[in-house]
Structure 1
């Protein structure tokens, strides 16, 4: 036992209270959960780090609840970087571990893991004894690096989302437990209803029971609040299902039928429209109620997760968007290009357009990077012009852009569309300090014989681009496959 965990006297220490709060969550050694796995995956994408973890610091160990890029389940606490993170309310960052005397000899630094950069933000929970740091959300790289203020703030926000997920998880478990107990222990009903009502309001949760003998539905107060209808309106099954759009209604009906048929618990996320017409995102879970070996009802909980869903969606969008131009980044471009190639193999049309800005380095060197960013933003806007309907635009890096033409009309008239784009790119850009002239050079290619993969299509468009550059900057060239040699 190390100095951090030594208990002196009979009074609980801050460490005792912290461990008590951690153990009360029932998170340690729990099964993987999609929400936490998605959060660490988003963190890894957002910061372009090979490893991201959500770790919990137990008495003598670090246990990893969710991970991306690593298979380690737990480590000793005395070598855990996250153990340092929980000692402060601020993010803990090591730009180069090999140069930090506290970590230079750490086995994760000297061993195969080759950890060189670490940044973690503490994760807190609150209980009657106060606020406790139970673990950290961290990102790890095998190369030294640093974070700017915006990135540090983003990491802190991700840790806050982790706290919200943990809080919602605990509240949902408590609410489900109370809902089940309410059916079985009528003598405790009043006391449980008070606690359950508080949990419902806090967590935007309601409970429900569907009697399988007569299809009668009983809702808690929370269900009426979520549906935005008065408690005197008693719902039937058909009315309850009407709150879902058709596709989601079918999903809920299928889940109910499957649980009744197999006895397996269901857990679904669906869109939902309240009685006042407000569109929300809901999580619903339910299981069979058994009496004397026979299924008599379905019982479950219903939670409004709209806010969390929006945050997760924005994070996913942020991870796939170029920060300067607000169009797609390279990773998202690769994903979409693969999907478009799949469609092209089935007969759909596709043209890949690569664009290099002419003399962009000169613009940066002469007018500064802020002016350069204005030029990049202008290009991003021009690649979303109305005449490029349904096209997909991305910044590949530096002054390189890409455009995917998949609309049949644009594919059929690709040369004219590209010429129009060339002229559009020549329009001057007004920056804060000057009106800057600009232009771009374009190479294009389409899938065909010998051009069936991302690598092959990118190479063909690159060849066309460099042909155009050799001819004259500000022009365009379309790749032409070499003619087969004949005898």
Structure 2
């Protein structure tokens, strides 16, 4: 028996109809996976520490999964889905334990699939009247009950904002491409359509363009000139347009365009860009081939400034690689950095050391002064491992009170004993609560990389063995002093 049927009242039927129209305008239901949405759900799963994240679109009676991090069904009945409640309420929904919630405990997602935790944020796009409607969700689920702290929910909301930007850009780009490629309709209805198109261009920072293959000449709409930082006027040549791309991007743009023309396939690329007045931007160009008598005679498409969206995406990626408490790298980023450092050392024969650190007395500080004091110790430790004297070494928090440092600078490795002693000195931090001061220290194990380290695990085991020996040599009891 369905347990979450959405019964739309007569008062709400117009809103539901408008919501469905906004969803249909995206042309996303049942479509193939797309890289941008796959990247979003991967970030959501990592930031909230859940195995499964999904981007869902909610139709009248069905829920369609656009992207997910784990294998599973891609469509199911709306009235069985937690996301239905998120869309109806149009707000972030958190279910800490589905078995404790009478609305959801009998859902097949709980009884058959085993979902015990859910957190979802609504995704809104504008309907035909310009009213923003919730058409889907970005959500994470887990098969064990859990809670989500405010920072995790804020991250989910930020990712939902990015997803909305992608959906809105898609809707506007589809409309712009349709207008740009409807030549006959533009001729007969030029006045009205031109006004609509110019408004759409300015709102979405999109312009249209056409490249004549034989002449290698471009026709730009006004907004393409604006994005380039040029006055509207002279018809540019292809070489002139390519000059706005940095040297490292220009070849990729030319190659992608050549391939599209040669094969008669759509063209799409996103890359760096520099305006006429020297401003660094990020742009996306898309086009479809114009074919006459079996030959591509032109490419017709759109050109968009995506700088703000790209900056937000990069910021979220950096957040996914950073430990929120200490501000240094997290475990996932550490594994990638260490693997890359090992590859560099093998290929170039350069020295590499791995330092593993375990805080001594951290549990006693937590138990005596509270978790707030423990968090202060972790923050101070992260700050100590990010000091300039470490010369660009990558520091990471890899566990509760476990840290690591990847050392590649030759000057730091001339005297490993001195490096260990300096690290141990830096790890002496003090915290005070209620007149009681406690000091934490750290044990350090530093291992060199050589041909016997065939994998990241081999390297870590070597450093861990050295750390264990150092740990046994320390007392590990924090110093306690009552100051009031």
> TM (normalized to structure 1)?
0.90
Deviations 1:313-370 (A, max 9, x none): 1111111111111000112112222222233333332211001122122233333333
SS in 2 for 1:325: coil
Output the CA distance in 2 between the equivalents of 1:384 and 1:324. 14
Cα root mean square deviation, aligned: 2.5
- Which SS does the other structure have where 1:397 is aligned? coil
Q: Deviations over 1:171-225 (max 9, x none)?
A: 0111111111147753333332212111111111111112222222211111011
Q: Which residue matches 1:418?
A: 420
- For residues 249-297 of structure 1, give each alpha carbon's deviation from its aligned partner in whole angstroms, at most 9, with x where no partner exists: 1111111211222212121110011112111111111232223333222
Deviation string, structure 1 residues 53-106 (Cα, Å, up to 9, x no partner): 111112221111111123321111221111111111221211111122222222
Deviation of 1:428 after TM superposition, in Å, equals 5.3
Residues 341 and 452, structure 1, Cα contact 8 Å, conserved in 2: no
Matched, 1:392 2:394: yes
Within 2, Cα distance between the matches of 1:66 and 1:146? 24
Structure 2: how far apart are the matches of 1:431 and 1:248? 55
Q: Is the counterpart of residue 123 in structure 1 residue 90 in structure 2?
A: no
1:138 offset after TM fit, Å? 0.8
Q: Which residue is 1:337 aligned to?
A: 338
Q: Distance in 2 between matches of 1:462 and 1:197?
A: 63
Retained in 1: the 8 A contact 2:22–2:128?
A: no
5+ unaligned residues in a row in structure 2: which ranges? 477-484
Match of 1:237 in 2: 238
- In 2, Cα distance between the equivalents of 1:379 and 1:432? 22
Distance 1:181 1:372, change over 3 A: same
Give the match for residue 456 of structure 1.
458
Q: What is the DSSP-based 3-state SS (H/G/I as helix, E as strand, rest coil) of the residue aligned with 1:338? A: helix
- 1:164 deviation in Å? 1.6
Q: Which runs of 5+ in 1 are unaligned?
A: 475-487
Corresponding position of 1:249: 250
CA deviation map 1:398-434 (0-9, x unaligned): 2211001122333344333222222233365789978
1: CA distance, partners of 2:201 / 2:111: 49
Question: Which residue of structure 1 aligns with residue 192 of structure 2?
Answer: 191
Residue in 2 that maps onto 1:299 = 300
Match of 2:474 in 1: 472
Equivalent positions of 1:1-400 (< 5 A) are 4=6, 13-111=14-112, 113-129=113-129, 130-182=131-183, 185-346=186-347, 347-400=349-402
C-alpha distance in 2 between matches for 1:432 and 1:404: 37
Q: Name which of structure 1's ranges 357-366 and 460-469 shifts more when overlaid on structure 2.
A: 357-366
1:321–1:328 contact (8 Å) kept in structure 2: yes
How many residue pairs get matched? 472
Shift of the alpha carbon at 1:114?
Answer: 1.2
Deviation, 1:51, is: 0.7
1:287 alignment partner, SS class: strand
How far apart, in 2, do the equivalents of 1:287 and 1:434 lie? Answer: 70
- TM-aligned CA distance change 1:8 to 1:321, over 3 Å: closer
Paired residues of 1:82 and 1:136 also in contact (CA < 8 A): yes
- Closer, same or farther: CA 308–433 of 1 in aligned 2, 3 Å: farther
Q: 1:451 and 1:157 mapped to 2: Cα distance?
A: 40
Please state whether the residue corresponding to 1:86 is helix, strand or coil: helix
CA contact (8 A) 2:416 2:446 kept: no
Kept after mapping to 1: 8 A contact 2:345/2:352: yes
Name which of structure 1's ranges 187-196 and 305-314 shifts more when overlaid on structure 2: 187-196
The normalised TM-score by structure 2 is 0.91
Do the aligned partners of 1:7 and 1:13 also contact (CA within 8 Å) in 2? no
CA distance in structure 1 between the partners assigned to 2:437 and 2:269 by the alignment: 54
Q: Matches of 2:92 and 2:383 in 1, distance apart?
A: 36
State how far apart, in whole Å, the 2-side matches of 1:268 and 1:433 are: 61
**Could you tell which deviates more after superposition, 404-413 or 116-125?**
404-413
1-structure distance, mates of 2:62, 2:211: 44
Question: Which aligned runs of 4 or more in structure 1 are off by greater than 6 angstroms?
Answer: 5-9, 429-435
Give the SS at the match of 2:88: coil
Separation in structure 2 between the aligned mates of residue 222 and residue 430 of structure 1, nearest angstrom: 59
